[in-house]
Amino acid sequence: MADEVDFFNILKAIAAEPALFAPAGDLARKAVNDIVRLRLALDATDLATVRRVRVLIDGAAFGEAVDGLPAAKVKTLVTRLDPHAAGLATAADRIRHLLALATGAAEPSAAAEKKAAAKKPAAARKKAPVEAAEAVTPTAEPSAGEPARKPRRRLTGRTALRVSEDR
C-alpha cells in the first residue's frame, strides 16, 4: 500500500496550507531535520549534493539539521567531502567546516592544493619534490660503540588506530 502513495506530494500539499497544520509545526521541523540528516548520512552524498540540499532549504534549517547529526556521522561526512582537511580535531570544528563547504565559503583541501600547484611555474613544481626528498632523508651514522638503530616503522591504518586507542 505504501508504494502506491506519493508521500512527497502529500508533504507538498500540506506545505501549501501551513495555517491548516499549524499545530504540527514542531513535527514538521523534526520531519525536515530527519529527512535532511538521512540524506546527508548516505554513502553516496557528495559535495554537490550537500550544496543542493543547503540551497533547497534555508541556511538556518540546514544548520539545525547538521547540528543534530551524531559526531561520528559528521566526521564521516567531512572526511568524505574533504579528506585532506587539517586541524579538525573537535566535532564543532568539523561542523563549522561542513557548513563552510556547504555554503561555498570553503573548498576541499585537495582542490586548493591543486589550484596552488597549477599557479606555480613548471620549473618550481619539478624542483619542490626533489628538495623535499633531500630534506627528509638525514643520514646520521651510529658511532662505533653504539648498535645500529632500526628505522621506526610508520604506523598507518588499523594499527595506528589501535595504538592511539591504547594511549
**36-92 residue pLDDT tens:** 999 999 998 999 999 999 999 988 899 999 988 998 999 889 888 888 877 788 888
Mean pLDDT of 96-125: 72
- pLDDT of the residue at 116: 56
Q: Which amino acid is at 78?
A: V
Mean pLDDT of 9-36: 91
Count CB atoms within 10 A of the CB of residue 40: 21
Half-sphere exposure of 14 (CA within 13 A, CB side): 14
Q: Which amino acid is at 123?
A: A
- Residue 33 predicted with pLDDT over 70: yes
- pLDDT of the residue at 35: 93
- Residue 30 predicted with pLDDT over 60: yes
